[in-house]
A and B are shown apart, each in its own frame.
Chain A
Amino acid sequence: MIGVGKIKQYTNVLEKPINKGKQEVSLSAFAFLFSELVQYNQTHVDNIAELERRLEDAGYAVGARVLELLCHREKLCHISWAGFESLSFPSHVWIRLFVETAIEGNRRETRLLGILSFVHSTVWKVLFGKVADSLEKGTEHEDEYMISEKELLVNRFISIPKDMGTFNCGAFVAGIVRGVLDSAGFPAVVTAHFVPVEGQQRPRTTILIKFAEEVLQREARLG
């Protein structure tokens, strides 16, 4: 392990206190970074679907960690089933949280509407500075829910060329949502879509969440 044998302020990253999460960087720094992420992936794929998948996978990693961070910070404990790779959050961190659950006994979200409103309000507020514009239940299918946003933060400085069709960089945000839901025990398929709005030049973005069968069955059992 790095740092062994040397005098360091903290022996490993787990001992460092987690800060309050109030630190900020400029929007343009994030926008530049995100544009590099998209550009890098563009050169490594052959088609739009693959590009969306890669952005979603990147977002998934972010989402899983956001859930860990928020739960630890707000003392809403949960047990994560996702396996963490070693660059951030080494795998023994979730064992520590498991122990904390036993000691503190705080409740974790087990209901569908609970976790959806957690994503729509808390996660959005932490990541994007505001709650999402709306949360709706799909009318056609029981297992579909939609979070809408007039303009996603990640799409602020992005324009999609016509030949890329329906590609939406919001796939990254869809990945974040999928990461949060999956780690909280609500597996789902999450996609991002543009929805044209009358009177508005830029279409708004809808994150469509389609829950897996087992989630609905569990929800029905819980009554």
Chain B
Amino acid sequence: MPPVAPRSGDAIFANVERVNAELFTLTYGAIVRQLLTDLEEVEEVNKQLDQMGYNIGVRLIDEFLAKSHVSRCVDFKETAEVIAKVGFKMFLGITATVTNWDAEGTSCSLVLEDNPLVDFVELPDTCQGLYYCNILSGVIRGALEMVSMKTEVTWVRDMLRGDDAYELQVKLLKQVPEEYPYKDDE
């Protein structure tokens, strides 16, 4: 059977079941509020959001690979493009742009113009250190780890803090080759 061609983000998004973005936005807001009430420290909340994102990412990658039929990416540049054009589109209905490649091609920025997580949100003065969308950085980190790439994802620009867009820096730390789980002589 010939390999199935990879589908574009729009095509997949049109085919998956969708829900109102506002339910998603408000549920995420409820989660962040609950975390702030429980943990109180903004740094703790950032870490917890990242951890939740990581848990989502390790499961999300399966669905992503199943629905998008992308073949193995040749290099990190292609990986970043696929995340920005297909990944974000098929789950959140938005596209990101990839910019700011460094000289070795191991670090880039994903820029999001609009972001369904942050509708209606304003950060109060007591939460100025909060990375409200930190769950996204965890999702990317978790998903990439499941395909053998150890990365570090940080926020460069955040509209809730006064910048003009959302910018995530994704840095490839190392490629972890997959370990063969069985010993050869058994």
**Given known contacts A21-B22, A36-B56, A85-B33, A29 and B124 CB-to-CB distance under 8 angstroms:** no
- Kindly list chain B residues whose C-beta atoms are within 8 Å of the C-beta of A9: 164
**Given known contacts A25-B93, A26-B17, A69 and B22 CB-to-CB distance under 8 angstroms:** yes
- A44 and B38 contact, CB distance less than 8 A: yes
- We find that the number of chain A residues with CB closer than 8 angstroms to chain B is 48
Total CB contacts across the A-B interface at under 8 A: 144
CB proximity of A119 to chain B, nearest CB, Å: 15
State whether the Cβ of A159 lies closer than 8 Å to any Cβ in chain B. Answer: no
- A61 and B164 contact, CB distance less than 8 A: no
Looking at B70-78, B96-104, B114-122, the stretch in contact with chain A turns out to be B114-122
Q: Residue-by-residue, is A21-57 near B (CB-CB < 8 Å gives 1, otherwise 0)?
A: 1011111111011111101110010000000001001
State whether the Cβ of B173 lies closer than 8 Å to any Cβ in chain A. Answer: no
Which of A13, A26, A128 makes the CB contact (< 8 A) with B120? Answer: A13
Majority secondary structure of chain B interface residues (helix, strand, loop or mixed):
helix
Q: Which residue of B lies closest to A28 (CB)?
A: B63
State whether the Cβ of A96 lies closer than 8 Å to any Cβ in chain B. Answer: no
How far is it, in angstroms, between the C-alpha of A36 and the C-alpha of B13 when the chains are bound? 22
- We find that the number of chain B residues with CB closer than 8 angstroms to chain A is 48
**B binding-site residues for A, Cβ under 8 Å:** 13, 16-24, 26-36, 38, 48, 52, 55-56, 59-60, 63, 90-93, 116, 119-125, 127-128, 135, 160-162, 164
- Give me 27 A-to-B residue pairs in the complex whose CB atoms sit less than 8 angstroms apart, sorted by A's number: A1-B125, A2-B123, A2-B160, A2-B162, A19-B119, A21-B20, A21-B22, A25-B18, A25-B92, A27-B17, A28-B91, A32-B59, A33-B31, A36-B31, A37-B27, A40-B52, A41-B34, A58-B34, A61-B29, A87-B32, A87-B33, A87-B121, A88-B26, A89-B120, A127-B19, A128-B23, A129-B20
Beyond the given pairs A24-B21, A26-B18, A62-B30, 14 more chain A to chain B contacts, judged by CB atoms under 8 angstroms and listed by A's residue number, are A19-B119, A23-B21, A23-B93, A26-B16, A28-B91, A33-B24, A37-B27, A54-B34, A58-B27, A62-B27, A65-B120, A90-B122, A129-B19, A129-B20
